[in-house]
Structure 1
Amino acid sequence: MNAGPIPDNAAAQRASLRQLLRIVIVGHVDHGKSTLVGRLFHDTGSLPEGKFEAIKKMCERRGMPFEWAFLMDAMQAERDQGITIDTAQIWFKTEKRDYTIIDAPGHKEFLKNMITGAAQADAAVLVIDATEGVQEQSRRHGYLLHLLGVRQIAVAVNKMDAVGYREDVFAEIETEYRAYLSSIGVTPTYVVPVSAREGDNIANRSTSMDWYDGPTVVGSLDSFQLPTAHLDRPLRLPVQDVYKFDTRRIIAGRIESGRLHVGDELIFSPSNKTARVKSIEVWPEPSNADGQPNTVSAGQCIGITLDEQIFVERGDIASHLKNPPVETEVFRARIFWLGRNALEKGKTYKMKLATADARVTVQEIEHVLDTTDLSSSTTTKVERNQVGEVVLRSRRLLPLDEHTRNGRTGRFVLIDGYDIAGGGIISMEGYADQRQLYTQRSQNITRVEHGVPTEDRERQNGHKGGVLWFTGLSGAGKSTLATKLERALFDRGYQTYVLDGDNIRFGLNANLGFSPEDRAENIRRVGEVAGLFSRAGVLAITAFISPYQSDRERARAAAGDMFHEIYIKADLETCEQRDPKGLYAKARSGEIKEFTGISAPYEAPDSAELIVDTSKLSVEQALEELLTYVEKTFRK
């Protein structure tokens, strides 16, 4: 980690103010990426002194023709094989700014390294061979750039000399590729006809293509915008490690977005502990008289000390109290899969997100997308080089961001065994931020023990208290069965009461809407109330869709071993046919947003105490199953 000393001479200060942009070079194998980069270095005078001459002598010594790509291919093994097999980063400069050029491999089997390069890039140059046109890899690379959040893309149609510098050939490729990129929501900034070998439209305008009036490749690069947006985004400081140094306890990490000041109050997720920044540490320590800085910002590797000693560990994310990251154990993701074995539903992988490692299970594979023609299919596997839209569930709460809000903390990789097997971006569509559900705001409170023991209540009632938690899609029959069961149990002498979803929203939860967060809070409150009923010796029956597994687990925790999950099962088609309240019709027409089963997820129970399939049973048969279960489980 090195924020660097402050320059103390004017030349160094001017140099430090030069802009820096990170560019990834991608494209199909042999379309001329490394040649283009080599030519860029040469034509702009960016090569180290003697580099060009050394490569020419090496080629003469080996009896081979000079290749511009050799200026980029620094590895001996790559020269011997004639292909680029890893990403390489070299400084590059124009009059306007400095660049880091990331040359990424084009072979399908080397896509993993291409993703590694693109994930670090602020912009991209995508190379297409004019003699071959748009290839499968050209589409795949375009899609991957979009997936990784690279929005500034220049397309270089290379080897125009090989097609006689024909305008019609270029126009056909430009039209086809612009149409593909547009279909995935990408607009290329420029499409430039070039000949990397001959130097046409690289740094200097081509005299052989006077029909083209756009910028050169260098002009395109210089027109790209600097990635300043992450400076204005909410603070995200993933904790890399915690060090004891002198008498200080220093929390170290790289600021991924936002700004940090001495005195800021921070919240560390997912623990939700807070403290203020006492000092900011950078290494080596500044040589100026002002000492350590009071303000740091995105991109800097720093350390901080706090005004109080709280437990912080690697993987935590520090943020300001306002606009913290999401905390969740379930989220949607779009994953590009590179593993030798297919990604499978139900399988668990290691996820690396910022500095955190977590185990995640593939809960659902919703769609598999073919990146060449954008067709989708439904399956239980995502094969190598496919894109899957999936739902992942963690064993613990994770702090993260939606990729559209913060690309730095909204993308991750999956590890299968010891290999990087896939990379993805995060979406919370349909799922709730669970932070508020775990935050206790009341202080100075003490639990009060009741004067009537549970055993006495059970003995007087003749049955145990408990929670019968009915879950299922709208129209599955939850409310119908709940009220009929309540009447039947009351007639048999049970102390029982129904907590119904609609009725609760008239009173206790009248202030809640139907966003994922409000739905989660709705179920949290009901779970707590049902738990209180059960401890009072009452058999509480709830009738709620309660679509999220995590919400039902919280309700189970509130009632303990008195909780019994009852899955009132019916498939979506059956529920739509019934549609007792006309809600499905409204959801299909767009009148109701985020309706469970249509535009919001339902996570069916995987270990319910009882499953009642109302698509196969009559109301009377279903009621009989419920009565049998209650008599066997709760009667004293």
Structure 2
Amino acid sequence: MAETTEQAQPARFRPADLRLVVVGHVDHGKSTLIGRLLHDTGSLPDGKLEELKAVSEKRGMPLEWSFVLDALQAERDQAVTIDITQIWLRTPRRDCVIIDAPGHREFLRNMVSGAASADAAVLVVDASEGMREQSRRHAYLLNLLGLRQVAVAVNKMDLVDHDAARFDEVRRSVEDFLHGLGLRASAVVPVSARHGENLADRAAAMPWYEGPTLLEALDRFEPSAAPVDRPLRLPIQDVYKFDHRRILVGRVETGVLRAGDQLLFSPANRTARIATIEHWGPGEAPVEVRAGRTVGITLDEPLFVERGDVASHADHAPVLTNVFRASLFWIGRKPLLPGQALTLKLGTDRAAVTVQSIDRVVDTQTLGGGDADQVRTNEVCEVTLRSREMLALDEHSANPATGRCVLVDGFDTVAAGVVNMRGYPDQRQLLTVKSTNIQEVDHLLNATARAWRNGHHGAVIWFTGLSGAGKSTLAMRAEQRLFQRGFQTYVLDGDNVRHGLNSDLGFAPADRAENIRRVGEVASLFANAGLIVITSFISPYRADRERVRKAAGAAFHEIYIKADLSVCEQRDPKGLYRKARAGVIPEFTGISAPYEPPESPELVVDTSRRSVEECLEDIMNYVEAHIALRTSDVA
């Protein structure tokens, strides 16, 4: 990212109450608008106006307000903003820091850097040109970064003769585009930045406009919620060993940390109490540390804590997951591809991740998007990332400080983005063991004795696949065929389990994960008893199926009942796809919620290309080869 040029804060100014980013297509007048606004509000540093006049006269040109911000000589020579420039502005209500973000396509990463820390935004649109490519891309990136306070300045109204009809045309196009993003402009103001019209003072040339001036619109913005009002997040930066103590050091990103607090450390999911808040220098040690400050703490018990762990309070903990969705701005020189291995930087943590899928590449002109097999430089995309280890994170909408991520390929930063968990559950509750003083019972019968009696090993045959793939049909037919062979067998099906054992669960991602956890534990008990239990569940998440595999051990056999989504929709035996497409059923797998196919199942049964009898024969052959008793198994 480029370095930032920042004007020294005038002594008369208080700390900034608002951080404002100004964006828009190149040459639509962002820098000119800011420079004139600073002049009209008396916010220019001493001597700056005289400097501008001298530079403009030297170049034989009219007074150029954009030179206020063009602090780099390269910018003046090229007449283009390439840096992120910050400068102070005094409004009637508050003091602001204005961030001027570059408009050129080549400097989009600079624009993202500038907008990431802003509370609100001004989108500048040329009245004669209307919304252009970079205008739309900048607006999309504002939405991606979670900015919801946006004002629009329709600039250069003097070049269209202050025409009200032209303003209305541009206003409607801007508002329609923002509406497609889920944004609403707090004000759309017709301005002429060069002449100072409708910036701080009303324009006599536009009597038809009755809305606020741009300055009045800025004063309607509200600062983002103070970080101290959000749940505690303390990413651990380092662990120091000092005087036989282990001091955990990090920056409090959000919330408040107090001496004596009980902390939960993620992803280890273990707790300890703060013994001391460390203090160096004169004065007494603080009893609390608020967001924005770096702190060192010791714990009342020797937990293993390392760089990248996140400390929080247990009642407002971050999400634990090894898979999540991310909206990314791809700036890598080479295209992003499915299956690509990258390094994820999340706070102080670094983890190896794989691009599980490219879900959508967004056309920032039309806001449309579709399937793609790669993402090119400066494209916006939605992807699913998977890690081998558990990660502690937040959805960006819940906590921006721990909901942003960066992707690195080797030594190059290739993407920046935000986290969302749409369609995926928080896995923390599935990893938390609440029972205590529990001991396993040792049975007097072993697996070999049960297998000898039954003629087969105990097994969990786990059918997974989309709704309509044929899981239940094959499960019931397989149960019947196995029973006829004299095997001890039973089917656990999604519908019958939800009428009893799991009747208290809904269909949100967390409920679906708990549903599979319970079924997996029950199925494992069936297998321990020597039965062949066939389960018929969509079970869309790999992590859930892996937990069942771990619980059942060698008895677990994953069979992927495979069928294309289009085939399943054509079958639609329960009419569920039709309801999902109509929006009646939210979070429906394959439509509005993800399905993660198995990576290495024991058997794949493709029901879209083979008959029921042929698929059943494959399953029976697998059982005979891997589950039915052989002489060598009990010899």
Corresponding position: 1:443 with 2:440: no
Corresponding position: 1:608 with 2:611: no
CA contact (8 A) 2:465 2:471 kept: yes
**Which segment is superposed worse, 61-70 or 394-403?**
61-70
Q: Which residue of 1 aligns with 2:176?
A: 179
Q: Which residue of 2 aligns with 1:46?
A: 43
Cα shift readout 1:248-300 (whole Å, capped 9, x = no counterpart) = 644333333333333332212211111223444678x6x7x6x4443444444
The aligned amino acid for 1:120 is S
Q: What SS is found at the alignment partner of 2:429?
A: helix
Q: Which residue of 1 aligns with 2:82?
A: 85
Q: Which residue of 2 aligns with 1:406?
A: 399
| Cα pair distance change 1:175/1:615, threshold 3 Å | closer
CA contact (8 A) 1:479 1:543 kept: yes
**1:350-499 equivalences in 2 (<5 Å):** 350-499=343-492
State the Cα distance separating 1:518 from its structure 2 match.
Answer: 1.8
Q: Which residue of 2 aligns with 1:524?
A: 517
State the Cα distance separating 1:230 from its structure 2 match.
Answer: 4.7
State the Cα distance separating 1:24 from its structure 2 match.
Answer: 0.9
Whole-Å separation in 2 of the counterparts to 1:208 and 1:576: 60
Q: What SS is found at the alignment partner of 2:185?
A: coil
The aligned amino acid for 2:493 is D
Q: Which residue of 2 aligns with 1:5?
A: none
Identity of aligned residues (%): 60
Q: What SS is found at the alignment partner of 1:381?
A: coil
Q: What SS is found at the alignment partner of 1:90?
A: strand
Whole-Å separation in 1 of the counterparts to 2:202 and 2:476: 80
- Which of residues 614, 620, 625 is equivalent to 1:632? 625
State the Cα distance separating 1:455 from its structure 2 match.
Answer: 3.7
Whole-Å separation in 2 of the counterparts to 1:407 and 1:32: 30
Q: Which residue of 2 aligns with 1:331?
A: 324
Q: Which residue of 2 aligns with 1:106?
A: 103
The aligned amino acid for 2:504 is N
State the Cα distance separating 1:211 from its structure 2 match.
Answer: 4.0
Q: Which residue of 2 aligns with 1:154?
A: 151
Q: Which residue of 2 aligns with 1:201?
A: 198
Q: What SS is found at the alignment partner of 1:523?
A: helix
Cα shift readout 1:64-98 (whole Å, capped 9, x = no counterpart) = 76532222122222223221112122333345322
| Cα pair distance change 1:169/1:500, threshold 3 Å | closer
| Cα pair distance change 1:633/1:304, threshold 3 Å | same
Whole-Å separation in 2 of the counterparts to 1:65 and 1:41: 18
| Cα pair distance change 1:227/1:593, threshold 3 Å | closer
Whole-Å separation in 2 of the counterparts to 1:36 and 1:244: 53
| Cα pair distance change 1:223/1:248, threshold 3 Å | farther
Whole-Å separation in 2 of the counterparts to 1:384 and 1:230: 33
State the Cα distance separating 1:580 from its structure 2 match.
Answer: 3.9
State the Cα distance separating 1:441 from its structure 2 match.
Answer: 1.1
| Cα pair distance change 1:515/1:95, threshold 3 Å | closer
Unaligned ranges ≥5, structure 1: 1-11
| Cα pair distance change 1:455/1:349, threshold 3 Å | same
**1:219-298 equivalences in 2 (<5 Å):** 219-228=216-225, 230-244=227-241, 249-280=246-277, 291-298=284-291
State the Cα distance separating 1:589 from its structure 2 match.
Answer: 5.0
The aligned amino acid for 1:121 is A
Q: Which residue of 2 aligns with 1:552?
A: 545
Whole-Å separation in 1 of the counterparts to 2:578 and 2:173: 40
CA contact (8 A) 1:130 1:163 kept: yes
Whole-Å separation in 1 of the counterparts to 2:145 and 2:508: 28
**Which segment is superposed worse, 48-57 or 402-411?**
48-57
Whole-Å separation in 2 of the counterparts to 1:366 and 1:450: 48
Whole-Å separation in 2 of the counterparts to 1:166 and 1:592: 48
| Cα pair distance change 1:106/1:582, threshold 3 Å | closer
The aligned amino acid for 1:446 is Q
| Cα pair distance change 1:37/1:557, threshold 3 Å | same
State the Cα distance separating 1:225 from its structure 2 match.
Answer: 0.8
State the Cα distance separating 1:370 from its structure 2 match.
Answer: 1.1
Aligned residues: 620
Q: What SS is found at the alignment partner of 1:541?
A: strand
CA contact (8 A) 1:567 1:611 kept: yes
Unaligned ranges ≥5, structure 2: 1-10, 631-635
CA contact (8 A) 1:19 1:96 kept: no
Whole-Å separation in 1 of the counterparts to 2:251 and 2:56: 43
CA contact (8 A) 2:13 2:95 kept: no
| Cα pair distance change 1:458/1:230, threshold 3 Å | same
The aligned amino acid for 1:107 is H
Cα shift readout 1:228-254 (whole Å, capped 9, x = no counterpart) = 265433223333333446666443333
Q: Which residue of 1 aligns with 2:610?
A: 617
Whole-Å separation in 1 of the counterparts to 2:202 and 2:278: 48
Q: What SS is found at the alignment partner of 2:402?
A: coil
Superposed CA RMSD: 2.9
Whole-Å separation in 1 of the counterparts to 2:63 and 2:229: 47
**Which segment is superposed worse, 441-450 or 321-330?**
441-450
| Cα pair distance change 1:579/1:26, threshold 3 Å | closer
Whole-Å separation in 2 of the counterparts to 1:244 and 1:202: 57
CA contact (8 A) 1:193 1:201 kept: yes
Corresponding position: 1:22 with 2:15: no
State the Cα distance separating 1:116 from its structure 2 match.
Answer: 0.9
State the Cα distance separating 1:594 from its structure 2 match.
Answer: 2.8
Whole-Å separation in 2 of the counterparts to 1:577 and 1:627: 27
CA contact (8 A) 1:282 1:301 kept: no
State the Cα distance separating 1:118 from its structure 2 match.
Answer: 0.6
Q: What SS is found at the alignment partner of 2:437?
A: coil
Q: Which residue of 1 aligns with 2:7?
A: none
Whole-Å separation in 1 of the counterparts to 2:57 and 2:244: 61
State the Cα distance separating 1:113 from its structure 2 match.
Answer: 0.9
TM-score (norm 1): 0.89
| Cα pair distance change 1:577/1:355, threshold 3 Å | same
Q: Which residue of 2 aligns with 1:4?
A: none
Cα shift readout 1:562-615 (whole Å, capped 9, x = no counterpart) = 221111222334334444444445545555443333333222222111111222
**Which segment is superposed worse, 492-501 or 244-253?**
244-253
Cα shift readout 1:131-172 (whole Å, capped 9, x = no counterpart) = 433212112111211111111112222233334444443333
Q: What SS is found at the alignment partner of 1:483?
A: helix
Whole-Å separation in 2 of the counterparts to 1:222 and 1:377: 39
Corresponding position: 1:34 with 2:51: no
| Cα pair distance change 1:170/1:549, threshold 3 Å | same
Whole-Å separation in 1 of the counterparts to 2:47 and 2:333: 43
